[in-house]
């Protein structure tokens, strides 16, 4: 019997607020059927969101073996026909193992990775999203120079002490990277715990 790793408490807490935003992002006129999740981590979100959107095929991915094993355990437990086995995907690679998706979801990756990963994410979305396809990113951001909370300032310092290439990104910088790959300026949704969701659309 496969043992499913316990989901991180933060993933459990933010699943419902993120789900509400995804319901908005995937509402008409969105007509897609294929969702690619980047940096799926434990796999808790993948099985939660696949269950909430039975009409969408959900493809989880991650670049690390430990995460892929955890995701696979969630897939086995969930037994959902629309939840696929995880794929190894490094956003900086080209090509990706998926050559088309109607939507890309990326939760809590941009601040815990080098800036090159954000650029790779946007380049990949530019390649695989059709016109009208969406990219949804979630996490802490700096908005016009504002960290939105003192706790985010401390978090940013902690991230940079662990890896100088990490850190909370400015919305305008992420937007510029997205626009360079043909994605429109995002809808911005304020989330609990001083996080933001950005919803981009492919031109």
CATH assignment at residue 134: 3.40.50.150
Give first-to-last CA distance, the chain, whole Å: 46
What does the alpha-carbon distance between residue 149 and residue 203 come to, in Å, rounded to a whole number? 33
Name the pLDDT band for 13 (thresholds 50, 70, 90).
very high
Name the pLDDT band for 5 (thresholds 50, 70, 90).
confident
Name the pLDDT band for 108 (thresholds 50, 70, 90).
very high
pLDDT of residue 1: 59
Q: Is residue 197 part of a domain?
A: no
CA 36 to chain CA centroid, nearest Å: 9
pLDDT of residue 80: 98
Average pLDDT, the chain: 97
DSSP string, 108-154: S-GGGS-HHHHHHHHHHHHHHPPTT-EEEEEE-EEBTTB-SSHHHHH
What does the alpha-carbon distance between residue 110 and residue 133 come to, in Å, rounded to a whole number? 20
CA 44 to chain CA centroid, nearest Å: 13
Q: Is residue 60 part of a domain?
A: yes
CA 153 to chain CA centroid, nearest Å: 22
- Closest-CA residue to 113 (of 102, 122, 126): 122
- Closest-CA residue to 18 (of 49, 42, 43, 41): 49
Report the domain count for the chain.
1
Q: Is residue 94 part of a domain?
A: yes
Question: Do residues 147 and 167 touch, judged by C-beta distance below 8 A?
Answer: no
pLDDT tens per residue across span 80-97: 999 999 999 999 999 999
Q: Give percent of the chain with pLDDT exceeding 90.
A: 97
Residue 102 DSSP label: S
Cα dihedral sign for 30, 31, 37, 38? negative
Domain containing 107 equals 10-185
pLDDT of residue 9: 94
The secondary element (H helix, E strand) that includes residue 201 is: strand 195-201
Q: Is residue 179 part of a domain?
A: yes
- Closest-CA residue to 109 (of 66, 170, 68, 62): 62
Q: Which residues pair with 199 in a beta bridge?
A: 136, 187
pLDDT tens per residue across span 28-82: 999 999 999 999 999 999 999 999 999 999 999 999 999 999 999 999 999 999 9
Q: Is residue 65 part of a domain?
A: yes
Name the pLDDT band for 3 (thresholds 50, 70, 90).
confident
pLDDT of residue 110: 98
Q: Is residue 190 part of a domain?
A: no
Question: Do residues 190 and 171 touch, judged by C-beta distance below 8 A?
Answer: no
Is the pLDDT at 2 greater than 80, yes or no? Answer: no
Cα dihedral sign for 185, 87, 114, 107? positive
Q: Is residue 200 part of a domain?
A: no
pLDDT tens per residue across span 144-198: 999 999 999 999 999 999 999 999 999 999 999 999 999 999 999 999 999 999 9
Q: Is residue 139 part of a domain?
A: yes
């Amino acid at each position: 019997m496969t043992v499913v790793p316990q989901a991180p408490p933060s993933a459990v807490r933010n699943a419902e607020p993120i789900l509400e935003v995804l319901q908005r992002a995937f509402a008409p006129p969105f007509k897609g059927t294929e969702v690619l999740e980047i940096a799926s981590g434990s796999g808790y979100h993948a099985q939660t969101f696949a269950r909430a959107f039975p009409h969408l095929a959900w493809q989880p991915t991650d670049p690390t073996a430990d995460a892929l094993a955890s995701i696979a355990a969630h897939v086995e437990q969930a037994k959902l026909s629309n939840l696929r086995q995880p794929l190894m995907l490094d956003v900086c690679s080209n090509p990706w193992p998926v050559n088309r998706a109607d939507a890309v979801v990326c939760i809590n990756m941009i601040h815990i990775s080098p800036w090159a990963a954000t650029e790779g994410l946007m380049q990949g979305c530019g390649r695989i999203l059709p016109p009208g396809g969406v990219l949804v990113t979630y996490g802490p951001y700096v908005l016009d120079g504002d960290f939105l909370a003192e706790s985010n300032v401390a978090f940013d310092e902690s991230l940079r002490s662990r890896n100088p290439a990490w850190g909370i990104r400015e919305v305008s910088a992420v937007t510029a990277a997205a626009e360079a790959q043909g994605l429109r300026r995002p809808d911005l949704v304020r989330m609990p715990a001083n996080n933001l969701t950005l919803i981009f659309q492919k031109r």
